[in-house]
Chain A
Amino acid sequence: DIQLTQSPSFLSASVGDRVTITCRASQDISSYLAWYQQEPGKAPKLLIYAASTLQSGVPSRFSGSGSGTQFTLTISSLQPEDFATYFCQQLISYPWTFGQGTKVEIK
Protein backbone atom coordinates (compact mmCIF):
# COMPACT_ATOMS: atom_id res chain seq x y z
CA ASP A 1 0.00 0.00 0.00
CA ILE A 2 1.15 3.56 -0.67
CA GLN A 3 1.67 5.50 2.56
CA LEU A 4 1.00 9.23 2.65
CA THR A 5 2.66 11.15 5.47
CA GLN A 6 1.48 14.68 6.19
CA SER A 7 3.44 17.24 8.12
CA PRO A 8 2.82 18.82 10.42
CA SER A 9 -0.02 16.86 12.06
CA PHE A 10 -1.05 19.96 13.95
CA LEU A 11 -0.58 23.61 13.10
CA SER A 12 -1.42 26.70 15.08
CA ALA A 13 -1.73 29.88 13.02
CA SER A 14 -3.31 33.32 12.94
CA VAL A 15 -5.72 34.90 10.49
CA GLY A 16 -3.71 36.30 7.60
CA ASP A 17 -0.83 33.83 7.98
CA ARG A 18 0.60 31.89 5.05
CA VAL A 19 0.29 28.19 5.77
CA THR A 20 1.98 25.25 4.06
CA ILE A 21 1.14 21.58 4.57
CA THR A 22 3.31 18.83 3.12
CA CYS A 23 2.26 15.38 1.94
CA ARG A 24 4.97 12.81 1.21
CA ALA A 25 4.21 9.57 -0.65
CA SER A 26 6.06 6.31 -0.02
CA GLN A 27 6.44 5.84 -3.78
CA ASP A 28 6.02 7.84 -6.98
CA ILE A 29 2.37 8.79 -7.49
CA SER A 30 2.96 11.20 -10.39
CA SER A 31 0.25 13.88 -9.96
CA TYR A 32 -2.54 11.58 -8.75
CA LEU A 33 -3.04 13.56 -5.57
CA ALA A 34 -6.05 15.39 -4.17
CA TRP A 35 -6.47 17.64 -1.14
CA TYR A 36 -9.59 17.88 1.02
CA GLN A 37 -10.75 20.11 3.85
CA GLN A 38 -12.91 18.68 6.62
CA GLU A 39 -14.77 20.62 9.28
CA PRO A 40 -15.91 18.82 12.45
CA GLY A 41 -18.99 16.69 11.88
CA LYS A 42 -19.00 17.25 8.13
CA ALA A 43 -17.95 15.36 5.03
CA PRO A 44 -14.63 16.24 3.41
CA LYS A 45 -14.69 18.95 0.75
CA LEU A 46 -12.50 18.79 -2.35
CA LEU A 47 -9.98 21.64 -2.68
CA ILE A 48 -7.33 20.55 -5.18
CA TYR A 49 -6.98 17.64 -7.61
CA ALA A 50 -4.25 16.44 -9.95
CA ALA A 51 -1.84 17.94 -7.39
CA SER A 52 -2.37 21.54 -8.51
CA THR A 53 -5.80 22.04 -10.10
CA LEU A 54 -8.14 24.19 -8.03
CA GLN A 55 -11.64 22.77 -7.76
CA SER A 56 -14.35 25.10 -9.07
CA GLY A 57 -15.67 27.40 -6.37
CA VAL A 58 -12.66 27.03 -4.07
CA PRO A 59 -11.03 30.37 -3.14
CA SER A 60 -7.81 31.21 -4.98
CA ARG A 61 -5.90 31.53 -1.68
CA PHE A 62 -5.64 27.72 -1.83
CA SER A 63 -2.98 26.26 -4.11
CA GLY A 64 -1.26 22.93 -4.57
CA SER A 65 2.05 21.90 -6.04
CA GLY A 66 4.37 18.94 -6.41
CA SER A 67 4.67 15.65 -8.23
CA GLY A 68 6.24 12.28 -7.66
CA THR A 69 6.56 11.87 -3.91
CA GLN A 70 6.46 15.41 -2.49
CA PHE A 71 3.40 17.66 -2.47
CA THR A 72 2.33 20.85 -0.76
CA LEU A 73 -0.94 22.60 -0.03
CA THR A 74 -0.59 26.33 0.58
CA ILE A 75 -3.11 28.77 2.00
CA SER A 76 -1.78 32.21 1.11
CA SER A 77 -3.72 34.17 3.74
CA LEU A 78 -5.55 32.12 6.35
CA GLN A 79 -9.19 33.07 6.88
CA PRO A 80 -11.42 32.23 9.88
CA GLU A 81 -13.33 29.64 7.84
CA ASP A 82 -10.08 27.80 6.99
CA PHE A 83 -9.59 26.43 10.49
CA ALA A 84 -10.23 22.75 9.81
CA THR A 85 -8.45 19.47 9.13
CA TYR A 86 -6.79 18.85 5.77
CA PHE A 87 -6.17 15.48 4.12
CA CYS A 88 -4.24 14.42 1.04
CA GLN A 89 -5.28 11.36 -1.00
CA GLN A 90 -3.58 9.29 -3.70
CA LEU A 91 -5.55 7.66 -6.50
CA ILE A 92 -2.81 6.01 -8.54
CA SER A 93 -3.07 2.52 -7.06
CA TYR A 94 -5.40 0.47 -4.88
CA PRO A 95 -6.06 0.75 -2.08
CA TRP A 96 -6.56 4.48 -2.45
CA THR A 97 -5.08 5.98 0.69
CA PHE A 98 -5.25 9.22 2.66
CA GLY A 99 -2.73 11.07 4.74
CA GLN A 100 -3.33 11.11 8.48
CA GLY A 101 -4.53 14.70 8.40
CA THR A 102 -3.29 18.14 9.45
CA LYS A 103 -5.39 20.05 11.92
CA VAL A 104 -5.16 23.83 11.55
CA GLU A 105 -6.15 25.67 14.70
CA ILE A 106 -6.39 29.30 15.71
CA LYS A 107 -3.34 30.72 17.47
Chain B
Amino acid sequence: DAKTTQPPSMDCAEGRAANLPCNHSTISGNEYVYWYRQIHSQGPQYIIHGLKNNETNEMASLIITEDRKSSTLILPHATLRDTAVYYCIVRVTSGNTGKLIFGQGTTLQVKP
Protein backbone atom coordinates (compact mmCIF):
# COMPACT_ATOMS: atom_id res chain seq x y z
CA ASP B 1 0.00 0.00 0.00
CA ALA B 2 2.77 2.38 -0.98
CA LYS B 3 1.48 5.89 -1.52
CA THR B 4 4.06 6.76 -4.16
CA THR B 5 4.76 5.80 -7.76
CA GLN B 6 8.24 5.83 -9.25
CA PRO B 7 9.72 4.61 -12.54
CA PRO B 8 11.42 1.26 -11.96
CA SER B 9 14.75 2.29 -13.49
CA MET B 10 16.69 5.22 -14.89
CA ASP B 11 20.13 5.83 -16.38
CA CYS B 12 22.28 8.90 -15.96
CA ALA B 13 25.66 9.87 -17.35
CA GLU B 14 28.39 10.52 -14.82
CA GLY B 15 28.75 14.23 -14.09
CA ARG B 16 25.25 15.06 -15.31
CA ALA B 17 22.25 15.88 -13.14
CA ALA B 18 20.01 12.97 -12.22
CA ASN B 19 16.33 13.89 -11.95
CA LEU B 20 14.23 11.24 -10.23
CA PRO B 21 10.45 11.77 -10.38
CA CYS B 22 7.85 10.61 -7.89
CA ASN B 23 4.06 10.79 -7.89
CA HIS B 24 2.16 11.00 -4.60
CA SER B 25 -1.28 12.16 -5.68
CA THR B 26 -3.04 11.05 -2.48
CA ILE B 27 -0.70 12.82 -0.09
CA SER B 28 -2.37 14.48 2.88
CA GLY B 29 -1.71 18.02 4.02
CA ASN B 30 0.52 17.10 6.95
CA GLU B 31 2.46 14.27 5.31
CA TYR B 32 6.10 14.79 4.42
CA VAL B 33 7.91 13.49 1.35
CA TYR B 34 11.12 11.65 2.18
CA TRP B 35 13.84 10.31 -0.08
CA TYR B 36 16.16 7.47 0.83
CA ARG B 37 18.59 5.42 -1.19
CA GLN B 38 19.91 1.93 -0.72
CA ILE B 39 23.17 0.66 -2.08
CA HIS B 40 23.21 -3.10 -2.55
CA SER B 41 21.72 -4.52 0.65
CA GLN B 42 23.13 -1.87 2.95
CA GLY B 43 20.74 -0.01 5.19
CA PRO B 44 18.79 2.76 3.46
CA GLN B 45 20.49 6.15 3.63
CA TYR B 46 18.50 9.29 4.31
CA ILE B 47 18.83 11.92 1.57
CA ILE B 48 16.32 14.71 2.08
CA HIS B 49 12.73 15.46 3.05
CA GLY B 50 10.22 18.25 2.66
CA LEU B 51 6.63 19.30 3.22
CA LYS B 52 5.79 21.84 0.53
CA ASN B 53 8.77 24.07 -0.04
CA ASN B 54 11.77 23.12 -2.13
CA GLU B 55 14.66 21.85 -0.07
CA THR B 56 18.39 21.57 -0.69
CA ASN B 57 21.22 20.00 1.26
CA GLU B 58 24.73 18.83 0.53
CA MET B 59 23.48 15.69 -1.19
CA ALA B 60 20.52 16.75 -3.28
CA SER B 61 17.63 19.08 -4.00
CA LEU B 62 13.96 18.26 -3.60
CA ILE B 63 11.42 20.01 -5.78
CA ILE B 64 7.78 19.60 -4.71
CA THR B 65 5.00 20.79 -7.01
CA GLU B 66 2.62 23.42 -5.73
CA ASP B 67 -0.26 20.94 -5.48
CA ARG B 68 2.11 18.52 -3.69
CA LYS B 69 1.04 15.64 -5.91
CA SER B 70 4.51 15.01 -7.24
CA SER B 71 8.15 15.73 -6.53
CA THR B 72 11.58 15.41 -8.11
CA LEU B 73 14.85 14.51 -6.45
CA ILE B 74 17.83 16.13 -8.14
CA LEU B 75 21.38 14.89 -7.77
CA PRO B 76 23.25 17.80 -9.37
CA HIS B 77 26.41 15.98 -10.45
CA ALA B 78 25.90 12.24 -10.40
CA THR B 79 28.88 9.99 -9.73
CA LEU B 80 29.28 6.24 -10.06
CA ARG B 81 28.81 5.96 -6.29
CA ASP B 82 25.29 7.34 -6.68
CA THR B 83 24.23 4.09 -8.35
CA ALA B 84 21.55 2.79 -6.00
CA VAL B 85 17.84 2.19 -5.50
CA TYR B 86 16.12 5.47 -4.66
CA TYR B 87 12.94 5.42 -2.61
CA CYS B 88 10.39 8.20 -2.50
CA ILE B 89 8.28 7.84 0.64
CA VAL B 90 5.31 9.61 2.11
CA ARG B 91 5.72 9.46 5.83
CA VAL B 92 2.51 8.45 7.54
CA THR B 93 2.42 10.10 10.93
CA SER B 94 0.47 9.56 14.08
CA GLY B 95 1.21 11.93 16.86
CA ASN B 96 4.95 12.32 17.11
CA THR B 97 5.84 9.08 15.42
CA GLY B 98 5.61 7.79 11.92
CA LYS B 99 6.27 4.79 9.76
CA LEU B 100 7.90 4.71 6.36
CA ILE B 101 5.98 2.88 3.63
CA PHE B 102 8.48 1.90 0.95
CA GLY B 103 7.48 1.27 -2.65
CA GLN B 104 9.66 -0.51 -5.17
CA GLY B 105 11.85 2.52 -5.77
CA THR B 106 13.84 3.60 -8.82
CA THR B 107 17.08 1.86 -9.65
CA LEU B 108 19.44 4.59 -10.81
CA GLN B 109 22.38 3.44 -12.88
CA VAL B 110 25.08 6.06 -13.30
CA LYS B 111 27.22 5.28 -16.33
CA PRO B 112 30.73 6.54 -17.13
| Physical interaction between A and B | no
Report A's interface with B, CB cutoff 8 A.
Answer: none
